[in-house]
Amino acid sequence: MPEVGVIGRVTAVQSTTLRVALDVGAKGFTKVGPDGLHTVGVVNSYVTVPAGAHKVVAIVTGVYISRRIEPSGESVVRSEDDQSAYELEAAVVGRFEGGAFKSGLTGYPPLHAPVHSATPNEVKSIFLPRDVPALRLGTSTVAADQDVHLDANLLLGHHCAVVGSTGSGKSCTVMAIIDGLLDRPIPNGHIVIFDVNGEYAQSFRHDSTRGRSTRTLVLGPSLGASDGLFLPHWFMNSEENLALFRAGEGVQAPILQRSIADARASKSDGRSDVNRFLAVRSSITIIEGLYADKQAELRVSQQLAALEALFQLQAQNSGPCSAQWSAMLSLVRETVRQGNIRPQPWTPLDAQQIVALNTLFDGLRAQISQAIGALNLGSEKVSPDFDAPIYYSLQELCDFFLPNRVTMEQAGDNRIAAYVATLQMRLSRLLADGRYDFMSRVENHYDPLGSYLRMLMGADPRKEGDDSDWPGAKLYEEQTANHNDGPSVTIFDLSLVASDVLENVTALLGRILFDFAVRSDPRAEHPILLVLEEAHRFVPARSESNSAGGRSASVFERIAKEGRKFGLSLLLASQRPSELSETVVAQCGTVIAHRLTHEADQNLLRHATSLSSRSLLDQLPSLAQQHALVTGVSTGVPAAVRIRDIQNAPKSNDPDFINRWADKQRLSQLPAHIDRVVENWIGLPDRQ
């Protein structure tokens, strides 16, 4: 008597697949079991097989019909259907232990082991993680009444990639994941979205359900403080500065680093000291130029008197360089005494006086070097923490600090100016490039880094009171007027950022978020989900390590490899996974794949997913819109899913060409439409 619920027997066992011969009674692809009618032998359905104390779970990847081999000498008249043998192939995906589903295998079933179609309760156990927070992604394509859930912590903790061709439903899937998170009470949630197509603002409108349940802040698309999309240049670290200005490693890089260190220090408490030290250097150069003058003693005496007065005044003031000022005062007085330098007209300097002056200048330069070191700048070393985001003026760097550093360094090599000329030209050109004004022309304000991080994390970035000088204060006040409880969602609308500027922006923003996460103590106290729409734009497969794309990829590769332990998670969306950094894709523990037709894209996913999932990826070219294959650590098994419906979808619908072309009235509106676009394009005021 056949066993109840058995649909076939195992005929072959490999490392990741099983071959099953279906029973004759199962050939109609349905079979009655103790808990109802089961679907049998349908691709993407699940089967179970006993394997010792556990049951192996496998997903059907193929169904076959072959002619049955009759025993020799037997001639029985059979129908075509009776002469056919039905088989299926299934990829092993996990096991049941005591009724609980677990990924991975501890043993394989024997040949001839009975195969069962997974019961509805077993399917539910597979798709609904037990005792863990879960989010609902959609429904199973095989069992339409069965919801597919993902383990939320594993999804976020191991990063996620959503891939698929244009129009396959990537943006809606990203929103479905966010909606699944919003279904849970997460008032301390933090989501940051890099939106290069301007799609997500409408999904979080303040009058929508999603907008009312979140604390949303949309920055952009216009660049500048009024739209909140600004990024102070002084947040950049040494590596980012060198890359932005393309400084050569030989001479330009050290000169630029030291110039920026000078500029940063000049904005600190030692700014006055720095300017005075620079004046002393200039006085030394002036005095050395007077050695051959006929009235040298008079003019040198006047210069030394001015220096003595400066040194005496500064030595009386307490400060980080008071010891150096006192030492320089003693040096200049001793030189005047030993050299007998007096304010006598028409008297040249003698050899003894020149030797005394040269000794003085050596001593002054040594004291200045010590003082500059105390202020964290100088020709011998740069700031101990050169990456500290301290304000400095980029215009002053171009006009004063870089030329001054070149002048100082030329004492050792008179070719320095020629080596640095192209760097100075690039810096001037960037300052003249209006596309970078939202970075290069940001005015200093109260607690700039703290304000920026509070904005990113959904907290109020403004200084307490109504007199906040935070550049985006008005925008923040307008957008947060109706904020209630709920997670923070910060959307960077980067749709108007030029391509060559975009990589600098996203690399800097990603690095700031990562540094914040690394420096947070206790670790991962405030986790962040970073959503990268069209991720191939700024996480590209790197061809050159020093390119802008390589720099951006480097930042996100580090986040992908190390961000998990610091509470920084990536959610990538891309239509060309083959153009994404392989390092980032490989670190994505969950992959949600929509329709993909390009072979290179499919191959990348095959290498990035588990062995049991690779055979399923053959379905990618034929997936319908809103359907996807889900594989990875956050789902118990690889699953074919119909993504849940969402309200207020991102603005990524295909344009309705024919209806728009058929609307004759729009033709008369075209000139006014062009005028509005051009006015915004070139920065003219809106004439309404």
Give the position of tokens 């880094």.
Answer: 449
Q: Which residues contact 667 (CB under 8 A, 6 or more apart)?
A: none
Q: Which residues contact 136 (CB under 8 A, 6 or more apart)?
A: 147, 148, 149, 180, 183, 644
Classified as helix, coil or strand, 350 is coil
Identify whether the C-beta of residue 435 lies closer than 8 Å to the C-beta of residue 501. yes
Angle subtended by helix axes 271-288 and 252-266, to nearest 10: 120
Angle subtended by helix axes 499-519 and 448-456, to nearest 10: 90
**Residue 431 pLDDT:** 92
Mean pLDDT of each 10-residue bin along the chain, 688 residues long: 74 88 66 56 85 87 75 58 78 84 84 89 81 88 83 92 88 93 91 92 89 91 86 91 88 88 68 72 85 86 88 82 88 89 86 90 85 56 61 87 82 82 92 90 89 90 74 87 86 89 90 92 90 89 59 90 92 90 88 87 73 70 88 83 90 77 86 84 55
The pair of structure tokens assigned to 157 is 């903790």
Q: For the chain, how far is it from start to end, CA to CA, in angstroms? A: 84
Q: Where does the chain hold its CATH 3.40.50.300 domain(s)?
A: 148-232+442-643
**Residue 11 pLDDT:** 92
**Residue 516 pLDDT:** 92
Dihedral sign for Cα atoms in the order 476, 482, 485, 489: negative
- Bridge partner list, 140: 641
The angle formed by the CA atoms of residues 623, 585 and 180, to the nearest 5 degrees, is: 60
Greatest Cα pair distance, the chain, in angstroms, is 136
**Residue 439 pLDDT:** 92
Q: Rounded to an integer, what distance in angstroms lies between the CA atom of residue 540 and that of residue 556?
A: 10
Q: Which residues contact 617 (CB under 8 A, 6 or more apart)?
A: 593, 602, 605, 606, 609, 629
Choose among 655, 557, 629, 656: nearest CA to 173.
629
Q: Rounded to an integer, what distance in angstroms lies between the CA atom of residue 528 and that of residue 484?
A: 20
The pair of structure tokens assigned to 572 is 């990538």
**Residue 379 pLDDT:** 42
**Residue 231 pLDDT:** 92
Q: Rounded to an integer, what distance in angstroms lies between the CA atom of residue 557 and that of residue 551?
A: 10
Choose among 637, 586, 629: nearest CA to 609.
586
Cis peptide before 221 (omega within 30 of 0): yes
**Residue 78 pLDDT:** 58
Q: Which residues contact 18 (CB under 8 A, 6 or more apart)?
A: 10, 12, 49, 56, 58, 89, 90, 92, 109, 115
**Residue 686 pLDDT:** 45
Number of neighbours of residue 444 by Cβ within 10 angstroms: 13
DSSP 540: B
Classified as helix, coil or strand, 223 is coil
Give the position of tokens 């903790």.
Answer: 157
Identify whether the C-beta of residue 627 lies closer than 8 Å to the C-beta of residue 141. yes
Phi/psi at 85 (5° precision)? -110, 135
Angle subtended by helix axes 351-374 and 271-288, to nearest 10: 160
* Inter-CA distances, 619 with 197, 291, 420, 551, 627, Å: 28, 86, 57, 35, 11
Half-sphere exposure of 176 (CA within 13 A, CB side): 24
| Class of CATH domain 148-232+442-643 | alpha beta
DSSP 247: -
**Residue 72 pLDDT:** 58
Give the position of tokens 């279906």.
Answer: 22
Identify whether the C-beta of residue 47 lies closer than 8 Å to the C-beta of residue 96. no
**Residue 432 pLDDT:** 92
Q: Rounded to an integer, what distance in angstroms lies between the CA atom of residue 76 and that of residue 74?
A: 6
